[in-house]
Amino acid sequence: MKKLQKVIILGDPGLDGATALSLALADPNLEVLAALACAGNVSAEQATRNMQAVLARLDPPRWPRLGVAPVVDYDVDGRFWHGANGMVGLELPSAPPLNAPSSDKLLIELARKFPGEISLLNMGPCTVLAQALDREPALVDLLQNVVVVGGAWRDPGTILPGVEFHFHCDPQAARRVIHAGFRLQLVTLDATRSLVVSPAMMTGWNELSALGEFMRELLPPALRLAEMSHGIEGVAMDDVGALLALVRPDGCKMRSIPVDIETQGEITKGMSIFDTRRNNHGGKANINVILQIESAVFEQYFNDLIRH
């Protein structure tokens, strides 16, 4: 029997986060151990509700454990891109979680239970991962690898010029994580700009599958929001980049680079600094940075799971 890759999803589910979780649950090669909620695109309470709602909507044969998002108040959110509830107003039934642990505590529990076996996909601000690291410094060795969606190399940025949203929310946590010593890949905005679901891509999707039916509910209103509010014909799927980095590394262009995060700048808070100087004064590359993901790989992976 084929051994499945154990995965934990940590995110602030807006549209792309909900989609990434859905794809991971549908991937026959992955065992999703937990869905850990965190604040970011939406509040902590809404993030937990969205995680629970996606699990209830898809009702996978093996339910991941749910982690409750710790309460944190950032000075920004992602409702402009994802709608008021992070799901473009789509209301999914969701029962309040009973006795569910906080996301940071559940991460530590599972990492201890399966040392060296878990890939963590961090699709939101790094706050929860940094909190877990403070509680359990051995997390660096307990996790097999970590994929973080964040940062912008040459991309113009989202929340500020040259600044990516996740890192802007909590730059101190992002800096803590990237310097901790994890076996870490960073999926930048440069890589995820090619990950877009267009109306043409949705042609021929299998609506009879749970995944296909859910995508048919979630994505059409997201397409309308993108066109009306942002003037683009397609829904950005940044968080799916973390999943592709894990399951389709052949479609990713990667480079090892010394990376740091600006934590205090008035107009650069959360800016990721990539030291690509020829003489960087001995600075060692601490991050494997994914700079490009092939759009064809994204579309094939997405379509294969929906048509499965």
Beta strands 65-67 and 30-37: pairing type? parallel
Altogether, the residues listed in the chain come to a count of 308
pLDDT over 90 at 139, yes or no: yes
Beta strands 259-261 and 272-274: pairing type? antiparallel
Q: How confident is the model at residue 54 (pLDDT cuts 50, 70, 90)?
A: very high
Q: How confident is the model at residue 282 (pLDDT cuts 50, 70, 90)?
A: low
Question: In the prediction, which pLDDT does 9 show?
Answer: 98
Percent of the chain with pLDDT strictly greater than 90: 76
Which whole number is the average pLDDT over 71-85? Answer: 90
CA-wise closest residue to 41 among 17, 67, 77, 90 = 77
d(CA 36, CA 41): 14
Question: In the prediction, which pLDDT does 280 show?
Answer: 62
Return mean pLDDT, the chain. Answer: 92
pLDDT over 80 at 230, yes or no: no
Domains of the chain: 5-306 (3.90.245.10)
Taking phi over 0 as left and psi of -120 to 50 as alpha, with beta for the rest, 200 belongs to: alpha
Q: How confident is the model at residue 1 (pLDDT cuts 50, 70, 90)?
A: low
Question: In the prediction, which pLDDT does 167 show?
Answer: 97
Q: Is 100 exposed, middle or buried (CB count within 10 Å of its CB: 0-12, 13-18, 19+)?
A: middle
Question: In the prediction, which pLDDT does 278 show?
Answer: 73
Q: How confident is the model at residue 206 (pLDDT cuts 50, 70, 90)?
A: low
Which whole number is the average pLDDT over 138-161? Answer: 96
Which whole number is the average pLDDT over 122-130? Answer: 98
**305 Cβ contact partners less than 8 Å away, ≥ 6 residues apart:** 23, 26, 27, 211
The better pLDDT of the pair 37, 198 is held by 37
Residue 181 sits at φ, ψ, to 5 deg, of: 105, 10
Which whole number is the average pLDDT over 118-147? Answer: 98
pLDDT over 60 at 281, yes or no: no
